[in-house]
Chains A and B, each alone.
Chain A
């Protein structure tokens, strides 16, 4: 059966997207609010994280407790995340409760109470989350890596900066909400069991009269240093490394995805085979594509005990370098089938589809059908992937390590 997507744009520019799924009884929805870490004014790093908490602390005629009880009463499985571009809030639920849930989320977005005492609590939690990162070197190394790799402010730490969080006020945060919860740039998506006409009518009534609008341009700064080491007397050296590649909008995007899959798609891919299976250097080793609208890279993580850190790094860099020298037809076939099958497996989940269509619309301005993606993956070949690697070799790395020992990156 051909896939079908629903699209409707409110007069104020807010985009409503939908993907009906016949096999499920659930529905998932999400609002992408253009108030991510990279869009914040200077000096407010971490405000998105505070705001994503603060807006749930009372909205419309409900205080914090009443709002939370109402959400739980509908059995919502909540989702909330802060990225570079957006604060995303949403939920998965039994489809019969969708209309009631959307009423609550309209209050949270348009009429949050924003009480000052609640702000202090949200801010303290954001500070504590950031401090906790020191006890989670694996997550910390990847956040630091993004910060170092992407031109500022794209890679800003989504958890924030400690000094800027300590200085953040309720007034400034309230102002950010006013400026950045821009409905003309907000994307709503829904997937699963729903009636699109009803959803549009309801959201039109809830959001149409609101006219928040603002310019979202940003100036990109420099990339940070090539190698950063953070000392930590832990058991392992956590290595994060990233190299630039084509963006999701590039015509070579699928060649890049297949190339990265040859390197680190399944367990027969090169990094797992060389670093873990043959040499036993690591337990956790992997590389994946990381794409923003403005820039993209291949992100790689490995964790290893200090005595093996240098050999691990050298082995990984060697595999990145070796990729352009030759790839077998079997490797390409495995990469392709892996990418296609994970696409279909993910398509059974309403949450993952709601997220995917929203992000497609934001990055590409349209939704890709599963068939289109499958065809594009199918079109790649040994030649096209090698040609891509010749034009865009994986050479320059930004590296971050956390652990008891530094590595030599020359």
Chain B
């Protein structure tokens, strides 16, 4: 593996990790923008804009874009979160240049009114689709309740109303502010020719204008509010818990992800033994989510209406016990083994590697080898995890439940 990096005059950063033995290559544009960078008036614009990038440029129609990608056999797509919008493709090495060239063009989209108006329907269908997925809906609502006014609580999709009110003009303004070269990283992983990637970027991206781009980076403790929302067509109780944690820049993020594994991995965790193994809940998991300047532990639990109180009592006991007695050495060892295997397996694929590479640069402006991350995970001690529990008190959570109408 060989790492390369370069910065263009307009501050667009290009990074690459070359692995000549890989059968494929992956490329991605990591744009540091998402729903937390939106105001209420334009809520949903980052995600809607992600869709609009596929609608082409002054020279390419939407169909021509899709055809150009499909001619290379690329597995390509994009995703938007609270703070990142990522455009990526995994492809056979011989097509990487073509695909990268296409992406560089699409990063300066036409944003035509007519495409905007058709795509608005698709966005509203996507909002409707997630309404029918309570496991997603409950997280979205809980995030909003937890961050309680902090921009990290903004919905990624936006609401039907905010999308209805959004105009192509507002989107164009947002694009001009956020898609500046100094707010974007171009990353490549796998089997590819570094010099060629750099020359494409130099040709296509040099004219992009540097801008002053900001983001509010306040830390959030979370509201710790508790709410329940009823939906008559539901049959199960969906519960989301959120509490504060360390940020993506914090060295303690490795300890935080191990703590998440100990409390709430799908199997073998405390949630698993107390809730799932005993058949009190059919799903119970907790994950650490690192964000820019802040972070959160987020749990999802699903159970029957009859079991809700029992389940919540047990959850409280799990967190109390964690607070009082901490974790055991062998629990940490098991968590490390699981995290390490998953990390190594994921990074064997250029597409998996691309994601870690791009986000490490986005948050830290640093290159980390897989070995760096492996060593950082191995170095976490029981005391590190205990300090984290003491400081963040994961049992002090915001709670949102979504379930059927209760008989009163």
Contact = CB atoms under 8 A, between A and B. Distances in A.
Nearest to A136: B133
Contact of A280 (B92, B122, B277): B122
B334 A72 contact: yes
Nearest to A273: B63
B39 interface: no
B128 to A, nearest CB: 4
B120 interface: yes
Given A131-B235, A277-B66, A283 B126 contact: yes
A121 interface: yes
Contacts of B350: 348
Interface in A65-85: 65, 68-69, 71-78
A165 to B, nearest CB: 13
Interface stretch (B4-12, B20-28, B141-149): B20-28
B118 interface: yes
Contact of B70 (A92, A269, A350): A269
Interface residues of A, number: 75
Nearest to B64: A268
Given A276-B122, A338-B73, 6 more contacts: A26-B348, A77-B345, A128-B303, A278-B118, A339-B73, A348-B350
Interface in B74-111: 74-75, 90-92, 95
B60 interface: no
Given A276-B122, A344-B92, A72 B268 contact: yes
B337 A26 contact: no
B67 A23 contact: no
B134 A265 contact: no
Nearest to A134: B235
A42 interface: no
A310 interface: no
Contacts of B134: 135
Interface in B216-254: 232-236, 238
Contacts of A282: 122, 125
A72 B269 CA distance: 10
Interface of B: 21-24, 54, 62-63, 66-67, 69-75, 90-92, 95, 118-126, 128-129, 131-135, 232-236, 238, 267-268, 273, 276-279, 281-283, 302-304, 330, 333-334, 337-338, 340-342, 344-345, 348-351
Nearest to A267: B66
Given A26-B348, A305-B125, A128 B282 contact: yes
B24 A345 contact: yes
B73 A341 contact: yes
Contacts of B302: 132, 135
B277 A64 contact: yes
B282 A78 contact: no
Contacts of B91: 341, 345
Nearest to B276: A125
B340 A75 contact: yes
Contacts of B345: 26, 77, 92, 350-351
Nearest to A120: B279
A303 B132 CA distance: 10
27 contacts: A23-B23, A68-B267, A69-B334, A72-B337, A121-B277, A128-B281, A129-B282, A134-B236, A135-B234, A233-B233, A234-B131, A265-B70, A267-B69, A267-B70, A273-B63, A277-B66, A280-B121, A283-B126, A334-B67, A337-B72, A337-B73, A338-B73, A339-B73, A345-B90, A345-B351, A348-B348, A351-B345
Contacts of A233: 232-233
A30 interface: no
A348 B23 contact: yes
B258 to A, nearest CB: 13
Contacts of B267: 68, 72, 78
A348 to B, nearest CB: 5
Interface in A268-305: 268-269, 272-273, 276-284, 303-305
B361 to A, nearest CB: 23
Contact of B334 (A73, A122, A266): A73
A13 to B, nearest CB: 31
Contacts of A284: 125, 129
A342 interface: yes
Contacts of A232: 233
Nearest to A231: B233
A344 B23 contact: yes
A180 interface: no
B70 A280 contact: no
A347 B278 contact: no
Nearest to B336: A75
A23 B348 contact: yes
A24 B334 CA distance: 23
B125 A268 contact: no
B268 to A, nearest CB: 4
A351 B344 CA distance: 13
Contact of B341 (A76, A128, A303, A347): A76
Given A75-B337, A137-B132, A138-B133, A25 B344 contact: yes
Contact of A68 (B268, B337, B341): B268
Contacts of A345: 23-24, 75, 90-92, 351
A369 interface: no
Contacts of A235: 128-129, 131-132
B336 to A, nearest CB: 8
A342 to B, nearest CB: 6
A306 to B, nearest CB: 10
Contacts of B128: 235-236, 303, 305
Interface in A231-269: 232-236, 238, 265-269
B100 to A, nearest CB: 16
Given A268-B67, A348-B23, A125 B348 contact: no
B334 A272 contact: no
B266 to A, nearest CB: 8
Interface in A92-144: 92-94, 120-122, 124-125, 128-129, 131-132, 134-138
A281 B121 contact: yes
Contact of A347 (B23, B123, B304): B23
A75 B63 contact: no
A198 interface: no
B24 A344 contact: yes
A135 B282 contact: no
A69 to B, nearest CB: 7
A93 B129 contact: no
A125 to B, nearest CB: 5
B341 A333 contact: no
Given A24-B348, A136-B133, A268 B273 contact: no
